[in-house]
Every structure is written in C-alpha cells, then in structure tokens.
Structure 1
Amino acid sequence: MCGIVGIFDMQGSRPIDRELLHRMNESQFHRGPVEGDLHLEPGLGFGHRRLSIIALEAGLQPLFNEDETIALVFNGEIYNFRELRTELQGLGHVFRTPSDSETIVHAYEQWGEACVNHLRGMFAFAIWDRPQQTLFLARDRMGIKPMHYAALPDGTFAFGSELKSLLTLPNITRDIDPLAVEEYFAYGYVPEPRTIFTSARKLLPGHTLSLRVGQPLPASKQYWDVPFIPHAAMSEREIEAELVVRLREAVQSHLISDVPLGAFLSGGVDSSAVVAMMAGVTEGPVNTCSIAFNNQAFDESVYARQVAERYKTSHRSETVDKDDYGLIDTLAALYDEPYADSSAIPTYRVCQLARKNVTVALSGDGGDENFAGYRRHRMAMGEERVRSLLPLALRKPVFGLLGAAYPKADWAPRVLRAKTTFEALARDLTEGYFHGVSVSNDRIRAQLFSNGFKQRLQGYRAVEVMRGYAAKAPTDDPLSLVQYLDMKTYLPGDILTKVDRASMAHALEVRVPLLDHKFVEWVSGLPSGTKLRNGDGKHIFKKALQPYLSDDILYRKKQGFSIPLSEWLRGPLLDTMRRAVLNPALLDTGIFNRSYLKQMVDEHAAGTKDHGTTLWSVLMFDAFLRNNGAAGSAGHSAPAVAVAA
C-alpha cells in the first residue's frame, strides 16, 4: 500500500523539477512511511511512498522491466499475482523481485493497456512506456484506490494518490468549481470525476487514461463495468451454497500478506461474514478489532464480542466517547476537499485502533451495495410500486402538491414524515432515488445558495450525475438500477474514500473482499428478488450465512456506523457550529444565503427542525476552506474563495 505521484511533460522532454516532485511525494508521507524514492528522466518524474505489505525487502518503486524501458509506480495489491507470474514466466518474462508490483510491469509488456483485464485486486498505477513515449494510468474496477490528476497551464500533466499532492504545485489554481459545490451539498461528497477545484479531476473507477507526448489530453476509457447479466436458473439452495463458496474464495484471496493481518468487526452482517470466512481458512486466531460507544443507542460492541467469542478471535475493543468531535480539522486536512459523512469520525478511530496490532485489515464494505441492504433500497422499491400504478403525468401534479403542502415534521414518528416520500413519488425512479439520498435536497439547496451563486450554476443540478449513470446502466431492473447508482456514486465517492483516507492516515491497509470484482460480477447476476424480499434486504446473503452467524447478527435492525450528529449540533458543538456557519469569511465567498443559514441555525438550536445533516455539511465546508487557505476561521480575516464562473 502506497502513495504515488508524477509529473509528465506533454509537449516534449523538458526537465522535471526534482524539489517539486519531492514535495509532492512527501505530502503523502503518511501513505507510505517505510520508504520512498524518486525517478527522473527528461520529460518525466515519478515519486513513490511505500508501506511494505508483500516482499518487504524487494518492493521499492519506481520499478522497471529488464531493459528499463518500462517504469511503474503503483498503489494497491494484486491478489492473483502468483498465478499471473507463473503465466508470464511461461511466456518468457524474467522476474527480478517476488513483489506483486513487478507483475504489472510484465503484464503491460505482454498485453499493453489490456493488462488491466488480467489484474485482480485494488490498484491505481502509472506506467511510463519510453519507446512509445506514453504515460498510462489505470484505476481498479470498483474505485477502491484513488487517482487524482491535473493538466497544468505550462503543458505538464501531474497525478497523485491524494489531491493534496497536486496542491503542492505552484501553478495549479484553487478556483472552486460551482458544479462541485452543488454536488457536494447534494451528496455530502464530490462525486467522480469532479474534484472541488476546476483544475483537478479524479480518474473514474474501471477506467484508464493514456497520454502521448505531443498529443492533447484524451478522454479516459472504461475497461470494466458491473455486468448485471442474469445467471441460468438456480434454486435458492443452490444460490446459497455457491454464494458461500464464492465468498470464502474472495476472502481467502485477500489474505496474502507478509505483515500482521486482521479484520474490522463491527457486529453487523458484512464484517461478521468476513470474519467467519477468515476463521475457516486461516491457522490460528483471527485478529479482530471494534470500537464501542459510551452511548447504547450507537453501540454494537456486544454483537462484535458475540462473533469474536464464536470464532475465538484475538479481539480488541476500545470505547470512544460519543462526544468524540475533536477531529473536524483533522478530517478536513485528510480529505482535501469537503466531505460530510460524519461516520468518518468512528472510521478514523477504528483504523487507529487496528493499526496497534496489524498492518492489514479486512472490512465488510460493499455488502449493502451488492445485496440491497440499505433502507433507501426498500424505500425506493416501495415508491416504485406506487409509481407503477399511476402515470407520471398524474403523479407529478398530485404528489408534487402533497409534497409542497405537507409539513417537514422532523420531530414526528418516521411513519408521519411523508413529505420526502410525496416529493419522491412526483419524480421518476432516478430522480426520486437522488431525492431520497440527498443530504440536502433540491428544496433546501434552493434556499441555501445565494442568488448570485445560483446564476453561476446556470441551472445545473446534481441529479445529472445519477442521470448520466442511469442512461448507461447495463440493467433496466429497478432494484439493480439503484444498486448500480450506488456503486457509481456513493460507494467510491463516500465509502471507499472514507476508508482509504482514514486508514492511510494511520499507515494501515484496508482490503474489501466483498468488492472483489469476480464476486461482484456473480452477485450482480442474481435475481433482485433474492436480494430484497418482503422488505428484507440481503435476503439471500443472510440465508446463506445462517450456519455461520446467529439470528441476532443476521436479523436485528440495521444500525450503521453512526454518531449523534443532530444532538452534537444542539449541544456541545452548538457554539462551534454557529461560529462556522455564520463565519464572515464563509459568507463572503458569495455561495450562501446568509438569512437562510441563520434561520437553520436558530431552528436547529431551538429543536423546532432538524437541520443536522445540512449544518454539518456547511461546517465541514468551512473546515475545508480554512485548511486550504481559502477562508479564515470564525473571527479571523482571510481572502474570499474564488468561485469559477
């Protein structure tokens, strides 16, 4: 696991500034504190920071082929590298190291850009092909590992694992993209391929980018997508049996390591399933860890202990104060752009705990996306059943009127909070799903933004991100479609980003076997009715796991990795939130409607309305601005942020 950076002269072979490349590389020291190195030649510079996992003494990068015409910098793990190595040796390739990294070099020599189709793992890498004068970038299929890049005004191209590496460059602008702001306040993160800055982009999951000297920057190319190709008919018992076999194989493939390895164990279905499979294929006890909260409403540690005892794991648990909100600026510095998922706080803490004993940890991320485990999946399908009864021409005025008239009753029992449901029913499936997942919906954003900022948006709405994916979706099944939308937006933009930055902050590698692409491909072909049945998400997954986990683990109400956000913002964080949200420097950006911000603060503090998620988003946006030198903290002057037109 590593951090990679590079500078490439798209126009020719101008020398690369070594000190500048060094600064880029060292900005990501936390991703690879073991060692680092640079490689420079005319027109190209590569940098690499290493966290040693496999081939501890032989994995220093950049890494070359036999005649040093191909160079690689790589972040990730290739789980099938031993099989590939044998295949490539049979084709005449000579290996100098036992590392998985060298497998990529020879795979590129053999298959060119199609090498990515042979790789099983999580990866982001860059290859310099000197004979072809080509720079080739690739990102893994699910977006587990990050890749940021920028085409700079002087004709150079730069890339890095984290956005902060690009921000060390003196000629990169920090103008904020207004479309990214709109997307951030809708989703709680900035979805790929955009970043918060107009000058930088993210390489999309399952995509490659190939640049050649003397040619303009091309568009990226997609090499993989979730197929959703239905399987031949199988009984449910056959599905359950094959699911366990495939799950066990995916987990086992992720266990290669030359350093201590363990697992996160939250007590939920997904992490418990991973631990159960690990226990069946490893010698000795599995190392597991979990965090507990001193607030029972948010604590699942009793279930984690139950699984740990059943499988006799070497389990560590630490209790975190429910008022563990001192990480706001730490998180803003980690994520480099605004990021509003408050579960980043406990994720940071569990990574911190895991690193005390292991260097690699397996997680259960991806189970909800694979098997329709989110509450919003159930809600979307319920709404879709109602939509099927009435044409849009009738639904839109009827439910649109009900949605406008019905009060926003945050204080009421969930069954009486119908406003969001009415609003969703007035839309088609994609827009209704977007409305349901938005941290601040269209109605709120229309009031949150200033008139001047809305003019800069020129009518752009964040739903276009989902509409773009829906238009290219490989399925027309409603449940599969919303799962696909999650896999393209929420999974890489929120979940995997959260885990990557939190784990790398502690030099911890996190692996996600439920997102092994072979497992994802197979699960995507299962009938929707096996995933969501009678309001029960993960139906077939839970049935398959009954011999391995108790009903307490499988069938209790889903809790999630959450924190008492609204409570914090009415209590111990109220003054902090008020200072941040009403910060003159934040208001001077011209993005926000001052009167609505004040109204939200007052209503939330009084308890008459719950604006917790929107206010947290604003608070984290302010923290992002302060940590990027674009705006000052409350009470301190700073230049207003430039918002690109």
Structure 2
Amino acid sequence: MCGIVGFVGERDNMQQILQGMMDAIAHRGPDGQGQFIEGPAALGQRRLSIIDLEGGKQPMFNEDGNLAVIFNGEIYNFQELTAELMRAGHTFATRSDTEVLLHGYEEWGKDLLQRLRGMFTFAIWDRREQTLFCARDHFGIKPLYYYRNEDGELLFGSEIKSFLAHPGFKKELNEEQLPLYLSYQYSPGENTFFKGVKKLMPAHWMEWKNGTLTVQRYWQPRFSPDDSKTLEEWEQEIGDAMKESVQAHKIADVEVGSFLSSGVDSSYMAALAHVDKTFTVGFANKQYDETDYAKEFSEHIGVKNYAYRITPEEYWANLGKIQYHMDEPLADAASVALYFVNREAAKQVKVCLSGEGADEFFGGYNIYKEPFTVSWYDRIPLPIRRVIGAVAEKLPPVHGVNFLVRRSKPLEERYIGNTNLMDERRKKKLLKHYSSRTLPTDLSRPYFAQTKGQDAVTQMEYCDLNLWMVGDILLKADKMSMANSLELRVPFLDRRVFELACRIPTRHKVTAEQTKIAMRGAAEQTIPAKTADKKKLGFPVPVRAWLREEKYAAVVRDAFNTPAAEQFFNVKELNRMLDQHISGKRDNWRQIWCIFMFLVWYDEYFVKR
C-alpha cells in the first residue's frame, strides 16, 4: 500500500517538484520513497511496507529496465500470476506483487487488467515508446486523479493535494460541482471541486502518448440473476466465497486486524478472519455507542478488542484535518468516526479488514425495501401520481409528503443513489449561483439505461455501485485509512465474490421486512443469529443532537456568516435552516452538515492555503 504521484512534461527542477508532490502525501507511505526522472517523465512513490518488506521498493523495473512502475494497492492473486508468467519465461527478482504488473504488462499489455484481482492504481512508463499507462481497479477501491494544464503537461496522483506542489497546477474552484454535492453529499462523477482535475473512474485505464490522452473503460459489472438455485444453496456459496476471499485478503508480511461495529458485515468479517485484534469506536451517548457489543462479540470469537470512545470536543476539533485529507468535501458524518477507528488501529497494526461493499453486492440498504412497501400506490396511473406529487412538493418536507413526492416519479427520475439530500427547489433557495447545467439525474440516468428491464432493486444496486460506493463509501475508507498510514482491505469487494453476488436473485436479497437475506443466512453459519439478523445502523453519529447544543450550533453559525458562506449561499436562508433545527421545528441536520462541511473544506483549501 502506497501513494503515487507523477507528471509528464519537462521542466527545470523536476526532482524538487516531484519531491514536493511526494511530501504532500507522505502519510500514505511513511516507510520509504522512490523516484524515477528521465526525459519528460517524473514518477514518485511513498511506501507503506506490507509485502516483501525488503524487496518491494519502487519504482520497480522489468528485466531490461525499459518499463518503470509505481503502484498503490494489493494484487491478491499475484502468486498464481507469478507462476503463470514464470512458465512464460519471465524472470522475477522479488516476492512483491508489484513485479506482477511489470511482467504482466509485458506479456499481455492492457489485457493484464482483466486478470488482476485486487485493489490498485498504478502507472507504467515505457522508456522506449515514451508512453505512460495508468489504471484503476474494477470497483474503484483506490483513487487516482489527473490534470492537464495549459502547457500540455499531465499530472497524476493518489491525492489532489499533491498537485498543489506543481508550478503548472492552477488551483481554481469548480463551483459547478457544488449543486451536485448538495444532493449527493459527496462529489459525484469524474469531475472534482478543482477545475480541470478529474478522477480516473473505476475499471478505467488512461494512456498518454505524444501529448494525446486516451481514457477507456476495460470492465463493466453486470447483474444477471440465476433462478435455478435455492436460498440454502446461495448461502453455502456465499460462505465458501467469503472464506476464500478473506484468506486472500489476509496475505501480508505484517499483522492484520479487523474493524468491528455492531453490524453483520464487520462481525462476519472478523469471525472469518481469525485475526488477533479488532477495533471499534463509539460515543459516550449509549444510543450511538457500539463498544459494549464489540467487546462482547470479540470475547465470543476469542480475540482482543480495542475500543475508543470519541468525545464531542475531539470530533469537532478534527473536522478541518479530516476535510483536508478528503481532498474534496464529504458530508458523511460517519467519516469522522472512521478517522478515529483508523487512528486507533494504526497504533497496533498496519493492515485492517473492513466490510465495505456488502450492501451493494447483497442488497443491504433499507431503501432497497421501498419497491416492496406500499406497492399499491405505484398502481395509481403515473399522471395522477405526478399531480399529487406536484401539490405535495409545495408542502413542508415531512415524512409522508416526501413519500408522495418520491413516488410521483418513475424510479429513474427520483433515485440518484443512497442519499438524495436536496432537490432543485431547495438548492435554488440556498445557492447564490444556482446552475441546472448538470442535474443529479444526468449522472444516474446512464446506469438505469444499462440495467433497463431489470427489477428496481437491481437497478438501485447498480446505481449505488457506480456512484454512492465510489464517491462516498470508498472515498472515506481510502482517505481516512491513509491519513493514518493504515492499509484498509475490503474482502466483500472482490471480483470472485461479485461473480457470485451478481447472480443471486433479488428475492434472496431483499423483501419488505429484511435486507441481505442470503448473506445473513451465510453469516449465521459462523456468527450468532442475533448478530446476523441485526438491523443495519450504518455508523451512528450524534451530530443531530450536537447541533441543538449552543456550543456546537455556534460553531456552525459562525461558519454560516463568513465571507466564504456569503460568496456561495443565501446566508439568511442558512441561518433560518439552523434556527429551525435548534428549535426542533425541523430536522435539518443533514442539510446543515452538508453545507458546513463544504465551508470547512473550502477554508482548508482556498482560505488557509
């Protein structure tokens, strides 16, 4: 696990520029660093040593020295690929999974990507062809950003903040991303909050040659339900697949631990992994505290649990640091708790397993129950539902009204992902420079088109797999673990697990009463039924309550009345929204937090720096 940076474009002081970029992401790899500079190419890497501690240094070269690679991630099938490549005549100098990328690229070219099982971003420089080739893993577990400046230079890296050290980078806010963020609570799609900076999307490669940049998708996840098996058969297959995946994800030359909340995903993971240590965070407020459960469950499976209770003071004190590490604003309050659990785990281990991906693969979100609830309402002709929804939209946004508004539209018009914080009417009131140039549905629509004819739950899963999981779940997992120099591995997000999950029929995933049906059944073979059947809580955080306390409401109000807030928002409307929440008239905490996190992030990148 590492961080990578680089650029293509000859300049004076290339070594100094590259070092500055590497220093900006030193937290991703405190164990070492390496550089390659030749002609127009500059490649840099910061290393967190996990596999082949002595021999895995980067940049790494192939036998004749023509190819140089820098790599962030882990290739879990590197041993079988190594054996296959050795049979084909390749000579390996290390035991590192990094070397598989070099020889695999020599042997198979871009087709190497179809053979990889793991989480990765990497860059290969071909010295003879003067070509840069970069790729990102199938599900987007590891991030990669890129930027082309006016001089035709290409910058790339694991984190946007590394670009700030390059004199050819022009730091400008992309304000067009703000309306999308207010709906999604994260920065969706390939564009970012920095003008010109793009994300290399999951399952994509890019190639720079002779000043031309080509970006292309190399793999597409597909759901293709198979009705031929019973629920019990699916449960058995899930159990077998997860046991194998967890063992593959434990390959390391350092100790591996596991995160543990009160949910089925992390509990199942910890039980399968047979690690020695689990890590949990909670809060003093019992409603938001999972530490007692974690201690009890850890004792049940015979491992030591390390629990930490976050105080409100330290939660709020670290918000600026956390938004800085995110690179882009993220309004998921659980990301802060994730920072602390990673911090505590990093004191004991270098690698931790976590449960991301189970909800998207196996139907875990409560919103997936919606197609099965009040289904009679959907039988009302759509034109009538649209009229009802138009009337309801003018009413205060309470629970029943929200239902009427949502169900007045077909799924592809209303569902943009697991979170839809603000509609266009709300954003028009809040924003000084509202733009409808790109609507949230413009991003989600292609995923509904690609799953046309499939059931509603499958369409929602596919949408979340491509938007929510990448933009929120995996973003915070990568950035919060790397901020603490900890490698986070996600055994659910494995190609072999997906090859199974994509064939499970919806009836074995979700009903009006239950989510993750087949996966819970598989988990029951390993953990107690009361844990396997536990209702999904997410990562509970007491922000709603804190925002009604004078001390913390004052912090937000101060932010809402800064010049930055005045620049982007209708400040009077912000304060009204906060007043409503404090008084208890409305539950506005998510909307308040979303705007507050943007302002905290903006302060980090455009006021302080």
TM-score bracket for the superposition, by shorter chain length:
over 0.9
Write the distance in 1 (CA, Å) between the matches of 2:304 and 2:452: 43
Relative to structure 2, which stretch is displaced further, 481-490 or 539-548? 539-548
Pick the aligned partner of 1:302 from 292, 299, 307. 292
Shift of 1:97: 0.9
Name the SS of the counterpart of 2:21 in structure 1. helix
Name the SS of the counterpart of 1:536 in structure 2. coil
Shift of 1:386: 4.6
Question: Structure 2 vs 1, CA of residues 73 and 297 (structure 1 numbering), >3 Å: closer, same or farther?
Answer: same
- 2:372, 2:512 within 8 Å by CA — same for their partners in 1? no
Write the distance in 1 (CA, Å) between the matches of 2:210 and 2:229: 52
Q: Give the corresponding residue for 1:56.
A: 53
Paired letter, 1:183: L
Q: Give the corresponding residue for 1:241.
A: 236
Question: Structure 2 vs 1, CA of residues 213 and 381 (structure 1 numbering), >3 Å: closer, same or farther?
Answer: farther
Name the SS of the counterpart of 2:415 in structure 1. helix
Name the SS of the counterpart of 2:68 in structure 1. strand
Name the SS of the counterpart of 2:44 in structure 1. strand
Shift of 1:463: 2.3
Q: Give the corresponding residue for 2:589.
A: 612
Pick the aligned partner of 1:342 from 312, 318, 333. 333
- What are the ranges of 5 or more consecutive residues in structure 1 without an aligned counterpart? 280-284, 410-416, 633-637, 639-645
- What are the ranges of 5 or more consecutive residues in structure 2 without an aligned counterpart? none
Shift of 1:603: 1.7
Paired letter, 2:490: V
Q: Give the corresponding residue for 2:320.
A: 329
Write the distance in 2 (CA, Å) between the matches of 1:161 and 1:436: 26
Q: Give the corresponding residue for 1:641.
A: none
Shift of 1:477: 2.0
Name the SS of the counterpart of 1:210 in structure 2. strand
Shift of 1:594: 2.5
- 2:417, 2:460 within 8 Å by CA — same for their partners in 1? no
- 1:303, 1:553 within 8 Å by CA — same for their partners in 2? no
Alignment of 1:447-596 (within 5 A): 447-450=429-432, 453-454=433-434, 457-473=435-451, 476-571=454-549, 572-587=551-566, 589=567, 591-596=568-573
Q: Give the corresponding residue for 1:433.
A: 415
Residues 1:2 and 2:19 aligned together: no
Write the distance in 1 (CA, Å) between the matches of 2:418 and 2:28: 35
Alignment of 1:258-273 (within 5 A): 258-273=253-268
Alignment of 1:27-42 (within 5 A): 27-42=24-39
Write the distance in 2 (CA, Å) between the matches of 1:375 and 1:123: 30
> What CA deviation, in whole Å up to 9, does each residue of 1:240-274 have, x standing for no partner?
11110011111111010001111001121000111
Relative to structure 2, which stretch is displaced further, 289-298 or 145-154? 289-298
Residues 1:168 and 2:165 aligned together: yes
Name the SS of the counterpart of 2:253 in structure 1. coil
Paired letter, 1:361: C
> What CA deviation, in whole Å up to 9, does each residue of 1:516-569 have, x standing for no partner?
111012101110010002320011111122232223212233222121112112
Moved >4 Å (runs of 4+): 13-16
Q: Give the corresponding residue for 1:221.
A: 216
> What CA deviation, in whole Å up to 9, does each residue of 1:99-121 have, x standing for no partner?
00001100000000111111100
Question: Structure 2 vs 1, CA of residues 483 and 317 (structure 1 numbering), >3 Å: closer, same or farther?
Answer: same
Name the SS of the counterpart of 2:201 in structure 1. coil
Write the distance in 1 (CA, Å) between the matches of 2:599 and 2:243: 44
Write the distance in 1 (CA, Å) between the matches of 2:437 and 2:200: 26
- 1:227, 1:474 within 8 Å by CA — same for their partners in 2? no
Question: Structure 2 vs 1, CA of residues 474 and 351 (structure 1 numbering), >3 Å: closer, same or farther?
Answer: farther
Write the distance in 1 (CA, Å) between the matches of 2:407 and 2:474: 30
> What CA deviation, in whole Å up to 9, does each residue of 1:407-445 have, x standing for no partner?
334xxxxxxx21211111111102322387212233321
Q: Give the corresponding residue for 2:86.
A: 89
Alignment of 1:37-436 (within 5 A): 37-214=34-211, 216-218=212-214, 220-231=215-226, 233-279=228-274, 286-322=276-312, 324-382=315-373, 385-386=375-376, 388-405=378-395, 407-409=396-398, 417-434=399-416
Identity %: 35
Write the distance in 1 (CA, Å) between the matches of 2:152 and 2:318: 38
> What CA deviation, in whole Å up to 9, does each residue of 1:279-303 have, x standing for no partner?
2xxxxx5321112321111112232
Name the SS of the counterpart of 1:71 in structure 2. strand
Relative to structure 2, which stretch is displaced further, 222-231 or 156-165? 222-231
Relative to structure 2, which stretch is displaced further, 564-573 or 198-207? 564-573
Paired letter, 2:224: I
- 2:136, 2:205 within 8 Å by CA — same for their partners in 1? yes
Write the distance in 1 (CA, Å) between the matches of 2:246 and 2:488: 13
- 1:380, 1:429 within 8 Å by CA — same for their partners in 2? no
Write the distance in 2 (CA, Å) between the matches of 1:188 and 1:299: 24
- 2:264, 2:534 within 8 Å by CA — same for their partners in 1? no
Relative to structure 2, which stretch is displaced further, 309-318 or 285-294? 285-294
Shift of 1:45: 0.4
Paired letter, 1:301: T
> What CA deviation, in whole Å up to 9, does each residue of 1:453-474 have, x standing for no partner?
12xx254322211113222347
Write the distance in 1 (CA, Å) between the matches of 2:225 and 2:544: 42
Write the distance in 2 (CA, Å) between the matches of 1:391 and 1:345: 44
Name the SS of the counterpart of 2:154 in structure 1. strand
Q: Give the corresponding residue for 2:602.
A: 625
Name the SS of the counterpart of 1:626 in structure 2. helix
Shift of 1:620: 1.2
Write the distance in 2 (CA, Å) between the matches of 1:88 and 1:55: 19
Relative to structure 2, which stretch is displaced further, 159-168 or 370-379? 370-379
Shift of 1:374: 1.2
Paired letter, 2:233: E
Name the SS of the counterpart of 2:219 in structure 1. coil
Write the distance in 2 (CA, Å) between the matches of 1:424 and 1:241: 37
- 1:430, 1:470 within 8 Å by CA — same for their partners in 2? yes
Question: Structure 2 vs 1, CA of residues 75 and 511 (structure 1 numbering), >3 Å: closer, same or farther?
Answer: same
Write the distance in 2 (CA, Å) between the matches of 1:621 and 1:230: 40
The TM-score, its normalising length taken from structure 1, stands at: 0.91
> What CA deviation, in whole Å up to 9, does each residue of 1:370-392 have, x standing for no partner?
12111122135537x35641332
Write the distance in 2 (CA, Å) between the matches of 1:460 and 1:315: 46
Name the SS of the counterpart of 2:336 in structure 1. helix
Write the distance in 2 (CA, Å) between the matches of 1:366 and 1:626: 32
> What CA deviation, in whole Å up to 9, does each residue of 1:178-234 have, x standing for no partner?
3311111111110131110122000000111111124x323x211112121223611
Shift of 1:8: 0.9
Question: Structure 2 vs 1, CA of residues 436 and 259 (structure 1 numbering), >3 Å: closer, same or farther?
Answer: closer
Write the distance in 1 (CA, Å) between the matches of 2:451 and 2:150: 35
Write the distance in 2 (CA, Å) between the matches of 1:395 and 1:325: 43
Paired letter, 1:217: L
Count of residues paired in the alignment = 607
- 1:351, 1:506 within 8 Å by CA — same for their partners in 2? yes
Question: Structure 2 vs 1, CA of residues 108 and 387 (structure 1 numbering), >3 Å: closer, same or farther?
Answer: farther
Name the SS of the counterpart of 2:379 in structure 1. coil
Name the SS of the counterpart of 1:88 in structure 2. helix
- 1:172, 1:199 within 8 Å by CA — same for their partners in 2? no
